[in-house]
Chain A
Amino acid sequence: MISRLAVLLSLVVWLAAGAAGHAAAAPAPSPEVTAALTDLTDEDAEKREAAVNVLGTTRDPKWIQFLGALRDGSVYARTRAGKLELVVGGSKATKGDQDVIDIAGAYEREPLGTVPLSELKEVPADRRLRLAIKPFLDADETQAQLADPDPNVRRGAAIKLGNQAAAGTAPVVEAALKKESDRWAHHALAEALALIKLANGTGDERADAANTLGGLHSESAVPALQRLAADGGATPAERAAATYAIRRIERWGLLTRTVETLFQGASLGSILLLMALGLAVVFGLMGVINMAHGELMALGAYATFVVQNWFRATWPSYFDSYFLVALPVSFLVAAAVGLVLERGVIRFLYGRPLETLLLTWGASLIIQQGLRLWFGAANVDVSSPSWLSGGATVMVGLTLPYNRIFIIGLATVAVAAMYWLLFRTNAGLRIRAVTQNRAMSSCLGVRAGVVDATTFAFGAGLAGLAGCALTQIGNVGPSLGQNYIVDSFMVVVTGGVGKLAGTILASAGLGGLTKGIEPALGAVFGKVAILIGVILFLQRRPAGLFATRGRNAEA
């Protein structure tokens, strides 16, 4: 709530600053506009349409924005002190048994607080009205967007204007460029201005623009620059500038592509790692082929869904933090189910891998069908918190999505925590002891049963955690587990059973390799190539990257 207010406040300040810069913008609405606003709620469709025309012909960007809101059906009317007032509705929420909505003024969009929806009457935008609004919006939408409070919208509008490269828009872009404070919107505006000049300027201006575009590493400019470089009518200086700019842009493109591929590989690798980590613990350390691993992930994902709904219903204003709560909850839910599974059945079947395989497969079917019965066969909707949507632009032409950055971080933390647990704590010592020699550890007083149960629960919890993370990039449905189980096994087997380092290396390697060959081969053949590669690799090294060596005859 507070952050939203802050945004609104900064919006007002920003808008006020914008209005001050606009000499033409009228501070108070003219009588015609006031009359038009009243007419908008009139019964007569003719009058409503005329009112839209009055507002549209003011050419005032803020009225154009208002018309846009009207078209989207978010304009409401309310009566205050006997006077009709039009407001623009923002986000809706439910408080108790009442639906409430944030509202803002029609022109300046100053926040007017949150009011119950029942106090407002929607100003309906029927088809006729929408048709009347459309021409005004189309003409001015992009330019109006240059004054939008959201830097991403401003940036999008700048890109659009640059691509259109219409001569008439240069002054608008130049004016916006002077005011722009956001780094990337500024960059897009500078690029747009150079593109406009490149298309419409004189000889010197074009050479200048080409240099600027080269400096800005503008991929959008390549077609125009290529035309200029091949243009027989252009001066040698222009053509040289264009050729040089293209070279700079291409070099930069190679760099961004390389960084992008590396990031994508790291991202896919960390997803694979998160999925495989729990399996590596259970399969690698305990020798249990856990076919229900995927379903434990699904449980984690559904736990996230439940936490999300709970936040939405109970604390809508803290909705963004639901994910932080969902992470431990999904871990605990999956761990609890894992514990029940281990104590209930698996412990009777240690040392009989085929039976555990069948048993866990059966368990996976039960969990899957249970989820289907409880939540329905259709996928459920898990929204990303706002801090995981969108991406950070780190360099020109390269945006790294927040959700992927987060997952890379989460995988790193999970691996570090696991190493710490296994190699720096007493519990870890006992786990390793039981793994190496169960009979001897039991003789020395380690309670092997307890160690088994905690290890299995820990592995299951890691699966739950992976499921929680996966909600941010994929679908949540009853068959979620099946989509990931094959990849998880592939990573563990390639890495070498029983070696965590192998799992880490294998997920990084498979992730990087997939992303490295996908641009050339496409997604379908990329996948085929990876599978063939894994098969060939396992032919040469059946024990995987890191074979377990030791005196233990069982291994």
Chain B
Amino acid sequence: MAQFSRRDFIKGGLLASTAVGAGLSFPNVLRAQDTVKIGILHSLSGTMAISEVSLRDTVLMAVEEINAKGGVMGKKIAPVVVDPASNWDLFAEKAKQLLLQDKVAVVFGCWTSVSRKSVLPVFENNNGLLFYPVQYEGEECSKNVFYTGATPNQQLIPGAEYLMSKEGGGFKKFYLLGTDYVFPRTANKILRAFLVAKGVPADNIAEEYTPFNHQDYQTIVGKIKRFSSGGNACVLSTINGDSNVPFYKEFANQGLRSENAPIMAYSVAEDELRGMDTSALVGHLAAWNYFQSVETANNKKFVQAFKAYAKKANLPGGDKRVTDDPMEAAYFGVYIWKQAVEKAKSFEVDAVRKAVYGQTFAAPSGTIKMHEYNHHTYRPVLIGEILKDGQFKIISRTKGLVEPEPWSKYTSPDKGCDWVKHQGTYQKKA
């Protein structure tokens, strides 16, 4: 702080207070020429608030960091925070408001696929720019969206591959279990195609879905138990949110153990584990691109900065807050945008978009890179084991970065995504 001039300091303070004001979805008051507005479109109420509030906090922290260092091209960032309240229609409405009324340069937001699908036409029709930070099912290639989370081949497939490998236990039977909505359904379609391509007979793959908020896993765990008798069986779980606790509890209580039948989770991260009794989850696995336990200098800084920020901003949980994969993706998304703006020397969406291609950033998980033409992100893939304190022990890590494939080569081998040589999704020549 010492090298800042007094004026910078006052400005920073003003902006921080704006950020807090905006956090209460109060319209931004700074309209001076030396600011640039960005939108934050995360649910702050309703069912998704548990997950999405952390993303808003992370983005606001990144904004504060950037502003403290002088902003973007000499302009301070003024965040406009809106609350779409976990309501998919409201997402589109709020996105429209951000783009047309507030005229923001970029939007950071969305979590669920259905919310992203709902805002997609708004961004495409008004030529907006959205940074989407969550791992998703792929099969999308929008000109106006940058996907900083994982594509199926950066999370789903490596998780299954790990369990098939010798190191992971050489499992041969797979129980695909998910909550009944678009992500698990598509994810399991891809996983099934992958497993079949790897020579797993159809009899050794089971697939099952449960409704949202499902609490009674007796029957399903009973089925898994029978499925796993004879050994070599594992569970690939895309169960979302709340339902995980009763599932893992029932799993442990019926005598299934992670040594004999491990669960590889694709939707359980540190932030979700905060509200859980983790004793039944210990030893099970998760596949992500980032864990709080990543041992890099950048990550230590990131984790500390977030805890300090949470404490300073009086966020619930204070310095007991944790970081996880979507938060990291949301965090470096802001920096990628900043670098792209500086490279393009403009806030114009089209110029910025082209400047994003190939951009690299020293993220907490290591240096990541934006793809040269498909709007997704090169990221490392990590497999972690759940520990008692709700953290993950990293047990496997890819050597370098994994190239993102929005169209899985197992389900859509003929499709590609390219915004440089093609217009988005195109048919590959046979």
User: Which A positions have Cβ atoms within 8 angstroms of B?
Assistant: 127, 152, 156-157, 159-160, 162-164, 219-224, 253, 257, 260, 264, 267-268, 271, 376-384, 389-391, 393, 397, 399, 401-404, 473-475, 477, 479, 483, 514-515, 518-519, 522-524, 527
Count chain B CB atoms within 10 A of each CB in A127, A222, A401, A483 and give the residue with the most: A401
Q: Is the CB of B211 within 8 A of A527?
A: yes
Q: Is the CB of A518 within 8 A of B219?
A: yes
Contact status of A159 and B260, CB under 8 A, knowing A376-B316, A473-B215: yes
Q: Which of A163, A402, A475, A524 contacts B231 (CB 8 A)?
A: A163
Number of interface residues of B (CB under 8 A): 46
Q: Is the CB of B246 within 8 A of A474?
A: yes
Q: Is the CB of A380 within 8 A of B254?
A: no
Q: Which of A381, A384, A401, A515 contacts B254 (CB 8 A)?
A: A401
B400 part of interface (Cβ distance < 8 Å): no
Q: How far is the CA of A160 from the CA of B230 in the complex (A)?
A: 9
Q: Knowing that A389-B253, A519-B223 are A-B contacts, what are 9 other residue pairs whose CB atoms are under 8 Å apart, sorted by A's residue number?
A: A159-B231, A160-B260, A377-B49, A378-B317, A380-B275, A383-B277, A383-B279, A475-B215, A477-B242
Q: What residues of A have a CB within 8 angstroms of the CB of B210 in the complex?
A: 523-524
Q: Is the CB of B245 within 8 A of A475?
A: yes
Q: What residues of A have a CB within 8 angstroms of the CB of B199 in the complex?
A: none
Q: How far is the CA of A477 from the CA of B272 in the complex (A)?
A: 13
Contact status of A524 and B249, CB under 8 A, knowing A379-B242, A379-B276: no
Count chain B CB atoms within 10 A of each CB in A164, A222, A404, A523 and give the residue with the most: A523
Q: How far is the CA of A141 from the CA of B251 in the complex (A)?
A: 23
Q: Is the CB of A127 within 8 A of B295?
A: yes
Q: Is the CB of B255 within 8 A of A524?
A: no
- Contact code string B177-219 (vs A, CB < 8 Å = 1, else 0): 0001000000000000000000000000000111101111011
Q: Is the CB of A264 within 8 A of B222?
A: yes
Q: How far is the CB of B163 from chain A (nearest CB, A)?
A: 15
Q: Is the CB of B275 within 8 A of A381?
A: yes
Q: What residues of B have a CB within 8 angstroms of the CB of A221 in the complex?
A: 230
Q: Which of A127, A162, A381, A483 contacts B276 (CB 8 A)?
A: A381
- Contact code string B237-250 (vs A, CB < 8 Å = 1, else 0): 00000100110011
Count chain B CB atoms within 10 A of each CB in A220, A376, A381, A390 and give the residue with the most: A381
Q: How far is the CA of A103 from the CA of B364 in the complex (A)?
A: 36
* Chain A residue with Cβ nearest B243: A475
B90 part of interface (Cβ distance < 8 Å): no
Q: What residues of B have a CB within 8 angstroms of the CB of A382 in the complex?
A: 277
Q: What residues of A have a CB within 8 angstroms of the CB of B230 in the complex?
A: 163, 219-224
Q: Is the CB of B257 within 8 A of A260?
A: no
Q: What residues of B have a CB within 8 angstroms of the CB of A267 in the complex?
A: 218
B344 part of interface (Cβ distance < 8 Å): no
Q: Which of A253, A514, A523 contacts B208 (CB 8 A)?
A: A523
Q: How far is the CB of B206 from chain A (nearest CB, A)?
A: 11
Interface pairs (30), CB distance under 8 Å:
A152-B257, A160-B259, A162-B231, A163-B231, A163-B260, A164-B231, A221-B230, A222-B229, A224-B230, A271-B216, A377-B316, A378-B317, A379-B50, A379-B276, A380-B275, A381-B276, A381-B278, A390-B252, A391-B253, A393-B255, A404-B253, A473-B215, A473-B246, A475-B245, A477-B242, A515-B218, A519-B219, A519-B222, A522-B209, A524-B180
Q: How far is the CB of B247 from chain A (nearest CB, A)?
A: 10
Q: What residues of B have a CB within 8 angstroms of the CB of A219 in the complex?
A: 226, 229-230
Q: What residues of A have a CB within 8 angstroms of the CB of B219 in the complex?
A: 264, 515, 518-519, 523
B409 part of interface (Cβ distance < 8 Å): no
Q: Which of B209, B257, B274 contacts A523 (CB 8 A)?
A: B209
Q: Is the CB of A390 within 8 A of B253?
A: yes
Q: What residues of B have a CB within 8 angstroms of the CB of A523 in the complex?
A: 208-211, 214, 219-220
- Contact code string B292-336 (vs A, CB < 8 Å = 1, else 0): 000100000000000000000000110000000000000000000
Q: How far is the CB of A49 from chain B (nearest CB, A)?
A: 18
For chain B, residues 26 to 81, give those with C-beta under 8 angstroms from any C-beta of chain A.
47, 49-50, 53
B122 part of interface (Cβ distance < 8 Å): no
Q: What residues of A have a CB within 8 angstroms of the CB of B242 in the complex?
A: 379, 475, 477
B119 part of interface (Cβ distance < 8 Å): no
For chain B, residues 372 to 387, give those with C-beta under 8 angstroms from any C-beta of chain A.
none
Q: Is the CB of B245 within 8 A of A160?
A: no
Q: Is the CB of B277 within 8 A of A384?
A: yes
Q: Which of B209, B254, B280 contacts A399 (CB 8 A)?
A: B254
Q: Which of B215, B232, B279 contacts A483 (CB 8 A)?
A: B215
Q: Is the CB of B255 within 8 A of A220?
A: no
Contact status of A378 and B275, CB under 8 A, knowing A475-B245, A524-B211: yes
Q: What residues of B have a CB within 8 angstroms of the CB of A391 in the complex?
A: 253-255
Q: How far is the CB of A526 from chain B (nearest CB, A)?
A: 8
Q: How far is the CB of A369 from chain B (nearest CB, A)?
A: 10
For chain B, residues 251 to 273, give those with C-beta under 8 angstroms from any C-beta of chain A.
252-255, 257, 259-260
Q: Which of A378, A381, A473, A519 contacts B249 (CB 8 A)?
A: A473
Count chain B CB atoms within 10 A of each CB in A156, A376, A378 and give the residue with the most: A378
Q: What residues of B have a CB within 8 angstroms of the CB of A162 in the complex?
A: 231
Q: How far is the CB of B380 from chain A (nearest CB, A)?
A: 15
Q: How far is the CA of A412 from the CA of B65 in the complex (A)?
A: 59
Contact status of A399 and B53, CB under 8 A, knowing A379-B276, A523-B210: no
Q: What residues of A have a CB within 8 angstroms of the CB of B220 in the complex?
A: 523
* Chain A residue with Cβ nearest B226: A219
Q: How far is the CA of A222 from the CA of B231 in the complex (A)?
A: 11
Q: What residues of B have a CB within 8 angstroms of the CB of A403 in the complex?
A: 249, 253
Q: Is the CB of B246 within 8 A of A264?
A: no
Q: Is the CB of B279 within 8 A of A389?
A: yes
Q: What residues of A have a CB within 8 angstroms of the CB of B259 in the complex?
A: 156-157, 160
Contact status of A483 and B254, CB under 8 A, knowing A219-B229, A260-B222, A475-B246: no
Q: Is the CB of A522 within 8 A of B208?
A: yes
* Chain A residue with Cβ nearest B254: A399
Q: Which of A268, A381, A390 contacts B277 (CB 8 A)?
A: A381
Contact status of A160 and B231, CB under 8 A, knowing A264-B218, A523-B211: yes
Q: What residues of B have a CB within 8 angstroms of the CB of A152 in the complex?
A: 255, 257
Q: How far is the CA of A160 from the CA of B216 in the complex (A)?
A: 28
Q: How far is the CB of B56 from chain A (nearest CB, A)?
A: 13
* Chain A residue with Cβ nearest B388: A72
Q: How far is the CA of A377 from the CA of B275 in the complex (A)?
A: 10
For chain B, residues 83 to 107, give those with C-beta under 8 angstroms from any C-beta of chain A.
none
Q: How far is the CB of B24 from chain A (nearest CB, A)?
A: 15
Q: How far is the CA of A284 from the CA of B175 in the complex (A)?
A: 44
Nearest 7 Cβ contacts at the A-B interface: A163-B231, A379-B275, A401-B253, A219-B229, A399-B255, A523-B210, A264-B218
Q: Is the CB of B50 within 8 A of A524?
A: no
Q: How far is the CB of A70 from chain B (nearest CB, A)?
A: 14
Q: What residues of A have a CB within 8 angstroms of the CB of B218 in the complex?
A: 264, 267-268, 404, 515
* Chain A residue with Cβ nearest B276: A381
- Contact code string B100-119 (vs A, CB < 8 Å = 1, else 0): 00000000000000000000
Q: What residues of A have a CB within 8 angstroms of the CB of B249 in the complex?
A: 384, 403, 473
Q: How far is the CA of A162 from the CA of B226 in the complex (A)?
A: 16
